[in-house]
A and B are shown apart, each in its own frame.
Chain A
Amino acid sequence: MRTDLAVIGAGPAGLAAALAADRRGLRVALVDAAPEPGGQFYRQPAAGLRAERPQALHHQWRTWVGLRDRLATSSVRVLSEHHVWCVERTPDGPAVHALLGPEQEKPAEVRATAVLLATGGYETVLPFPGWTLPGVVTAGGAQAMLKGGLVVPGRTAVVAGTGPLLLPVATGLAAAGVRVAALVESADPGRLLRHAGALAGKLPEGAGYAARLLRHRVPFLARHTVVRAHGDTRLTGVTVAALDAHGRVRPGTERRLPCDTLAVSHGMLPHTDLAESLGCRLDGLTVAVDAEQRTDVPGVWAAGEATGVGGAALALAEGHIAGRSIAARLRGTVPDPGEWAPAARARARMRGYAAALDAAYAPPAHWTDRVTDDTVVCRCEEVTAGTVREALALGAGDARTVKLLTRAGMGWCQGRMCEPAVAGLAGCEPAPSRRPFARPVPLGVLAEQHEQHTERGPS
């Protein structure tokens, strides 16, 4: 199909952009992997579960209702269950290549004049002994299963790691009947206070979570970490310990908490693969954009977590600005930023929050000390920390060389799960990894692409 704008990702950024562009007369295709729009933040219970009170699992429900209702009355064409694996630059504009349905075997193509990358992010979990046991899940994964499937993984959970995501996950699991034995946050609340000025607007939200943790009697262990998950074929408990000011375990503080679920998270990383294969410039790990959310590749905009992890409200503001910019640019006019001044102000404020939160919540400095040699680092290829360390001892100086020597990062997940850990063990900053395809693609689909290109002649 052919459209003016293809928006990739139907989370907050993609929805806001699609609606803003639709309102200004563009033909918009909203391309998303899930069965229903919403992304991770607004993930809804599966229709078949007929939930009457999905808002019980959500924050900012009214914002979602507004987006949902506007989408229903818009002309936006929603292409759900489209798993995009590549966006290609062609002389006629970007071509979006997707695989259809949960099977992901049949291809689909969307051709557009402009594309917006609103691809969101995924969680970082740093390894520790026992983290591959069934029952250990990402905090966001526990939340996704709860929001989408109305299901919980067990009866007693520990929620651990670092970052603002731990709060809604702990309170969400508790509200759904899980006993939350502890919320284990490695960061020092004092560091949040140091950024109190920047975070003042976030205080009511924080106070709300504090009240809910109290109501559900969830013990909050700050400056603590999970040092080990226990169990043979599934999780039976975790050992937690207090951290000193340098991020090292304080001797003698270890204690064991029985649990059948550990929901763990150490932050978020943006999905930038599509941007990279388009040739967009990255700024560190995120897609670089200008004040209009344009990347440096003509016809390609980006918004939301892909341009910097900052949450749903920031994504909405960025998406809105991108949608208006695209509408103006595709008509050949220069947009007036004054028209989106409120969104730009919200964007500036939210980016301030994100920077302050990022500074306050960081994994403890010496986390690699606790990764024993027999701990699996690459979950797909079952590469242990010991093997990674051997590669480093042989002279591997970065994640890429470690990968070539050990296979760490060569599995199904394309290195997304182990990359931060390998970089940490190697003592280097995580670098964007070049993935020509954003997901595994059947060879038959690739062969078909080749035939099409050959029929058209060399381009």
Chain B
Amino acid sequence: MNPLELAGAGPGPAFEVTFDGRRIEALPGRTVAAALWAAGVTSWRTTRGGGRPRGVFCGIGVCFDCLVTVNDRPNQRACLVPARPGDVIRSQEGTGRAD
């Protein structure tokens, strides 16, 4: 049993997004974080100070640990932002801005 089967999900066709240049499939309705988890990715940010990897922590938009760059917009919370067809998702290093 997986979560989709458990909930009897019958989503429409998956669409493609890229993560750090790699093509991954995303199901309609999923957030960027959910799409990345489903593709086996659990970290997509490195911290400003120690350069340590981070991904989802609180999952509800409170902790800001899952920040990611989507279509060149840095600092998006992956757990809130829905994945859309063609999204270019990039790991965010530090502030996500050239500085």
Which secondary structure dominates where chain B touches chain A? loop
B21 CB–A CB distance under 8 Å: no
A137 adjacent to B57 (CB under 8 Å): yes
Total A-B contacts with CB atoms under 8 angstroms apart? 168
Quick one: which of A40, A49, A146 contacts B30, CB cutoff 8 A?
A: A49
Provide the residues of chain B in CB contact with A152, threshold 8 Å.
2-3, 37
B82 CB–A CB distance under 8 Å: yes
Interface residues of B in 60-93 (CB under 8 A from A): 60-65, 67, 73, 76-77, 79-82
Given the complex of chains A and B, what is the CA–CA distance between A119 and B99 in angstroms? 36
A48 adjacent to B56 (CB under 8 Å): no
B98 CB–A CB distance under 8 Å: no
Interface size class of A (residues with CB under 8 A): 35 or more
Which secondary structure dominates where chain A touches chain B? loop
B42 CB–A CB distance under 8 Å: yes
A49 adjacent to B1 (CB under 8 Å): no
Which residue of chain B lies nearest to A57 when distances are taken between CB atoms in the complex?
B7
Provide the residues of chain B in CB contact with A136, threshold 8 Å.
57
B59 adjacent to A50 (CB under 8 Å): no
A211 CB–B CB distance under 8 Å: no
Provide the residues of chain A in CB contact with B6, threshold 8 Å.
53, 56-57, 150, 175-177
Interface residues of A in 128-155 (CB under 8 A from B): 132-138, 140-146, 148-154
B4 adjacent to A413 (CB under 8 Å): no
A56-B7, A137-B56 known; A416 vs B63 contact (CB < 8 Å): yes
Q: Beta-carbon contacts of A386-427 to B below 8 Å, as 1s and 0s?
A: 000000000000000000000000011100110000000000
Q: Beta-carbon contacts of B22-46 to A below 8 Å, as 1s and 0s?
A: 0000011111011001100011000
Which residue of chain A lies nearest to B41 when distances are taken between CB atoms in the complex?
A134
Which residue of chain A lies nearest to B67 when distances are taken between CB atoms in the complex?
A412
Quick one: which of A56, A145, A154, A381 contacts B59, CB cutoff 8 A?
A: A145
Given the complex of chains A and B, what is the CA–CA distance between A46 and B7 in angstroms? 11
Given the complex of chains A and B, what is the CA–CA distance between A40 and B67 in angstroms? 21
A356 CB–B CB distance under 8 Å: no
Interface residues of A in 99-142 (CB under 8 A from B): 102-103, 122-123, 132-138, 140-142
A416 adjacent to B56 (CB under 8 Å): no
Provide the residues of chain A in CB contact with B1, threshold 8 Å.
175-177
Quick one: which of A35, A123, A138, A151 contacts B3, CB cutoff 8 A?
A: A151
CB distance from B56 to the nearest CB of A (A): 6
Given the complex of chains A and B, what is the CA–CA distance between A414 and B73 in angstroms? 21
Which residue of chain B lies nearest to A176 when distances are taken between CB atoms in the complex?
B3
Provide the residues of chain A in CB contact with B79, threshold 8 Å.
141, 144-145
Q: Beta-carbon contacts of A141-171 to B below 8 Å, as 1s and 0s?
A: 1111110111111100000000000000000
Given the complex of chains A and B, what is the CA–CA distance between A65 and B50 in angstroms? 47
Provide the residues of chain A in CB contact with B58, threshold 8 Å.
122-123, 137-138, 140-141, 417
B62 adjacent to A413 (CB under 8 Å): yes
A54 CB–B CB distance under 8 Å: yes
Given the complex of chains A and B, what is the CA–CA distance between A413 and B77 in angstroms? 12
A53-B7, A382-B50 known; A48 vs B28 contact (CB < 8 Å): yes
A50 adjacent to B63 (CB under 8 Å): no
CB distance from A192 to the nearest CB of B (A): 27
Provide the residues of chain B in CB contact with A149, threshold 8 Å.
29-31, 33-34, 37-38
Given the complex of chains A and B, what is the CA–CA distance between A57 and B7 in angstroms? 7
A49-B28, A176-B2, A233-B43 known; A153 vs B56 contact (CB < 8 Å): yes
Provide the residues of chain B in CB contact with A441, threshold 8 Å.
none
Quick one: which of A49, A50, A154 contacts B42, CB cutoff 8 A?
A: A154
Provide the residues of chain A in CB contact with B11, threshold 8 Å.
48-50
Quick one: which of A51, A175, A381 contacts B8, CB cutoff 8 A?
A: A51
Given the complex of chains A and B, what is the CA–CA distance between A380 and B7 in angstroms? 35
A33 CB–B CB distance under 8 Å: yes
Quick one: which of B4, B29, B37, B76 contacts A102, CB cutoff 8 A?
A: B76
Interface centre among A144, A151, A380, A412 (most CB of B within 10 A): A151
> Chain B residues in contact with chain A, CB under 8 A?
1-4, 6-12, 27-31, 33-34, 37-38, 42-43, 47-50, 52-65, 67, 73, 76-77, 79-82
Q: List 18 A-B contacts (CB under 8 A).
A: A46-B30, A48-B29, A50-B11, A51-B9, A56-B6, A57-B7, A102-B80, A122-B60, A140-B59, A141-B58, A143-B59, A144-B60, A151-B30, A152-B3, A176-B6, A380-B65, A382-B49, A417-B63
| Extra pairs beyond A233-B53, A382-B47 (11, CB < 8 Å) | A46-B30, A46-B82, A50-B9, A50-B11, A56-B8, A57-B3, A140-B60, A177-B3, A379-B63, A413-B64, A417-B57
Which 3 pairs between the two chains have the least Cβ-Cβ distance? A48-B29, A141-B59, A149-B34
